[in-house]
Amino acid sequence: MSIGSVWPVIGLSRILRCLAVCLVGGLVVLVPSVGRAADLIGADQSDLIKSLLPTVVNITTSKVEPVAPPPAQMAGAATPSPRSAVPTTIKSYVGSGFVIDPTGVIVTNYHVVEDAFEIVVTLSDGTRLKGKMLAASRLADLALVKIDADHPLKAAQWGDSDTVQVGDQVFAAGNPFGIGISISSGIVSALNRDIQNSPYDDLIQTDAAINHGNSGGPLFNMKGQVIGVDSDILSPTTGSVGLGFAIPSSSAQFVAQRLQMYGWVRPSWIGVKLQQVTPDIAQALGMEQAMGSLVSWVIEGGPAAKAGLKVGDAVMQFNGAPPSDERALLRDIAHTSVGDSIILGVRRDGKMIDVRVQVEQWPRNQWDKFDAPAEATQPKITIPADLGLTMAPLTPDDRVKMNTGAIKEGVVIKAVAANSDAYEKGVVAGDIIVRVQDKPVATKAEVLAALQADRAAKRRYTLLLILPKARTLPGPKYYALQIGPQGE
């Protein structure tokens, strides 16, 4: 149940992942819903929220991504040879999660940690710890991350999403836009939403503000129980417009427990393909109402075939009760214990019959084809000796033109490579390098020598003191720039 930064247009809206690119250079975001949270939740709930914050974590990931080709190449210029390396860069993203086991097991969305070669978890007290993905389900968009703390962590408590009703008050906790743990509140706007992320969609819709970076955070009920995992937003922009979606705890808890126990979801299976009976299909079948799930394929040798289920059967009941749709029927089957028997009420040739099917474990090799997590791409980036910066000494004329004030020596940045870490972090032509680490610099050679010393010391980042070309505040600013692939 993942969503990309921008998904295809649905009407006038777009489905967006609640995952944020880390923006460097002082991102300030106002979250009006935080004030609204106090109004809806009430002062008597503030202690509850404070008690729950230690269960919520911020997650920062590092991923290797291709660099976009220059405009000339995109316009049809000669393309590189297939053998030539595709230029890549490292980008950081932020998301959220919550502790489900005091030993340091955390639930988050799979799309938060997908392809990440480095995971850093920040606890509510500011402690930063390295995380490792234990297991994940791409289809469910859920993952387990493990951290090793020096003390037991406070774990969130699961609630029962099956008891949730439209209009119930809820509040979301997470890391919107990477600004830190924030609370927003609202109500449950709708249930059983299908935004076509998976065949099992059963999402809780809420108007509690969910933004980029909230992915993987908990949706709490007013008892402080997790009744959903915040995962998606529907918006014509990149921000929340009150259409947020969470994976219900009934599904999330099932997946998390299976991942902990088996390392994969290990769902049950009967070997059929189902589709919802639409009004048109109902008329074609001579049914008075559009109800049930039509069997469009039966796998030879599977449990359903052994039980006598046939193509063209319409499944109307599961163990005596009518599922709301084919997604609910698929979830009921998947959640049944392996080896148990289920009774399907089937409409065949205009008559109702019962078919008893003994469910089996979904064949692991078949399930892994579309649900196993992908291996993270390890960084293979050659960082240029000059960090992608074209530099020149600071001249007396430069000091006058750039109004450097008390700064008499430095190195002027003439250009910044588009695929460099400096570019990603907001360094621009016209900025002036004053120091590298603790050493003042006046020439390009001094900058390169300082960078070489940092690399020899096996540092992953170097600290540059830079006087910005455009200054809203007087004085220079420190930038931590990558000088070698992460994970060394």
Whether 111 is catalytic = yes
Q: How far is CA 290 from the centre of its chain?
A: 36
Name the pairing type of β-strands 128-137 and 116-122.
Answer: antiparallel
CB 454 within 8 A of CB 439: no
Whether 335 is catalytic = no
Identified catalytic residue from 111, 137, 201, 249: 111
Identified catalytic residue from 161, 215, 240, 249: 215
Give the separation between CA 156 and CA 154, rounded to whole angstroms.
7
CB 362 within 8 A of CB 304: no
Identified catalytic residue from 2, 33, 92, 141: 141
CA distances (Å), origin 372, targets 97, 137, 347, 464 = 20, 6, 35, 42
Least Cα distance to 199 among 31, 362, 32 occurs for: 362
How would you write the chain as a 3-class SS string? CCCCCCCCEECCEEEEECCEECCCCCCCCCCCHHHHHHHHHCHHHHHHHHHHHHHEEEEEEEEEEECCCCHHHHCCCCCCCCCCCCCEEEEEEEEEEEEEECCCEEEECHHHHCCEEEEEEECCCCCEEEEEEEEEECCCCEEEEEECCCCCCCCCEECCHHHCCCCCEEEEEECHHHCCCEEEEEEEEEEEECCCCCCCCCEEEECCCCCCCCCCCEEEECCCEEEEEEEEEEECCCCCCCCEEEEEHHHHHHHHHHHHHHCCCCCEECCEEEEECCHHHHHHHCCCCCCCEEEEEECCCCHHHHHCCCCCCEEEEECCECCCCHHHHHHHHHHCCCCCEEEEEEEECCEEEEEEEECEECCHHHHHHHHCCCCCCCCCCCCCCCCCEEEEECCHHHHHHCCCCCCCCCEEEEEECCCCHHHHCCCCCCCEEEEECCEECCCHHHHHHHHHHHHHCCCCEEEEEEECCCCCCCCCEEEEEECCCCCC
Q: Determine how many CB atoms are found less than 10 A away from the CB of residue 163.
A: 10
Whether 215 is catalytic = yes
Point out the residues that are catalytic: 111, 141, 215
